Structure 1
Amino acid sequence: VIDNISRKYGMYVIAPIQEKEVSSMMKQIPSDRLLIVDRYLKMPKDYSYISQEFEEVTYLKLVELTTQIKKYKRFVLFFKKYSDFPPGILHAFNRYISDYDINGEVVDSYEPNTLTKSTAYFSISDTQLWKVLKDARKMEYRIGSDIGILAHDDNIIKEIAFGGITTISTDFTYIAKKAAHFVKEGKPIQEIVPTYLRQRNSL
């Protein structure tokens, strides 16, 4: 519950889970004191946001990667049920494998020692990604030929690990700068930030 003092004087920058119940909670905060970042929530039109769009952009980036993905016999997405993963990514994956006749599968998480050759793996969670890469090293699988790797959200480790991991990601530094400007100036903003495909050696 947001107390009256915080409601009157606080500034809030919140990265929410995309659930209807969360929207109701956010509406307790005056629109001029709340910035929603990262995940988009349907809110009254006077609320500010700097958000990613997940479904359409993920679908389009997967389409760009079709030649690489079709090098493999199977395409696996790690998507845990009842998690905070963006549902748009799951919808995009299912739509993509249907439209492009890809042998795709959604599994909750990666189980150690189950790595399979001729499979491309798509990981939203870095925890799942590191498990896959650890087993790939142990089993001496070549990333980008024996197995493929695609990850969500870029960082400096993914730039260099195993010759570089292909990612679908927005620019989080840009989001942070925009959020800081909102807190400092208080000027309304409503922006869907770009998402980039960074192709590296892992596919």
Structure 2
Amino acid sequence: FDFFKRLIINKQNDYTHYVVIPHFTEGSENAFEVINTIPKDKLILLDKLVAGVDGQFGAVYENFEKDIYGALEKALPQLSKYHTIKINVPANTYHPDEILKGFRAFCQQYAFSYKVVHNIANEPIKEGEAYINLMEDDLVILIEKILATKMKLGKHVGVISYNETPLKKLILNGITTISTDFTMMGQKAAQLILDQSTEHIEIPFKVTIRASL
């Protein structure tokens, strides 16, 4: 965060636009103060809105809390075969707090037991549980752990992975994914710059149900 702060202060007049992805592992509570020093007609926030950033500026963003809640609702017919949902959020990595807010709200609304896991390698795999995985490396660990049991993926244990990739269509007859449209996000951000626009655009979130759930 300190590097970001120095960069913004020292480069205020060097560019026509500043596209900021405001994900910080530390110092995020003060991010709005630094971002507010950028002239608003030059500012584009990408992926996330930041509370406290004022004025007229462009933004292309995900609504993390609403997105995960809505995605899990769409997967409810498949999730109903499980009694517990666990979300894997590795320690020392950044993920918006809104993801966990939406996850907890869904589980409470639909009476699922739930748990936030910080180290999937140490988590026992149990029948009747579904796992939401945020990081690609942890997806490999999770699948290896499931394959080491006699449980069947999509029947005894479920897996949902964040962010669609071509490979997830093929792994174990398909991994269920929840994902924003990153291509659209980039295109919309570029269009805001070309149009000198201060529009705020929320990017849609997609659920792809496959055999893993």
Equivalent position to 1:146, from 152, 156, 159: 156
Corresponding residue of 1:39 = 48
Q: Structure 1 residue 129: deviation in Å?
A: 1.5
Match of 1:17 among 19, 23, 26: 23
Question: Which whole-Å deviations, capped at 9, do the CAs of 1:78-97 have from their partners, x for residues lacking one?
Answer: 12456411111111111111
**What letter is aligned with 1:12?**
Y
Q: Distance in 1 between matches of 2:84 and 2:7?
A: 48
Q: Secondary structure at the match of 1:8?
A: coil
Q: TM-score, normalised by structure 2?
A: 0.85
Identity in percent: 22
Change (3 A) 1:101 1:135: same
Listed as ranges, the gaps of 5+ residues in structure 1 are none
Partner of residue 136, structure 1: 146
Take 1:102 and 1:3, find their aligned partners in 2: how far apart are those partners? 44
Q: Output one character per residue of 1:163-200: Cα deviation in whole Å (capped at 9) or x when no partner.
A: 22112211000111122333444333311111111111
Moved over 6 A (4+): none
User: For residues 21-170 of structure 1, what are the structure 2 equivalents within 5 Å?
Assistant: 21-42=30-51, 43-80=53-90, 83-111=93-121, 114-139=124-149, 141-170=151-180
Aligned equivalents of 2:9, 2:78: Cα separation in 1: 54
Q: 1:110 to 1:23 in 2, by over 3 A?
A: same
Change (3 A) 1:4 1:40: closer
Code of the residue aligned with 2:41 in structure 1: it is: D
What one-letter code is carried by the residue in structure 2 that aligns with 1:17? Answer: H
Q: 1:202, 1:186 → 2: CA distance?
A: 43
Cα shift at 1:122: 0.7
Which consecutive residues of structure 2, in runs of 5 or more, have no partner in the other structure? 1-5
Q: CA RMSD in A?
A: 2.2
Q: How many residues align?
A: 203
Distance 1:45 1:157, change over 3 A: farther
Most deviating of 176-185 and 57-66: 176-185
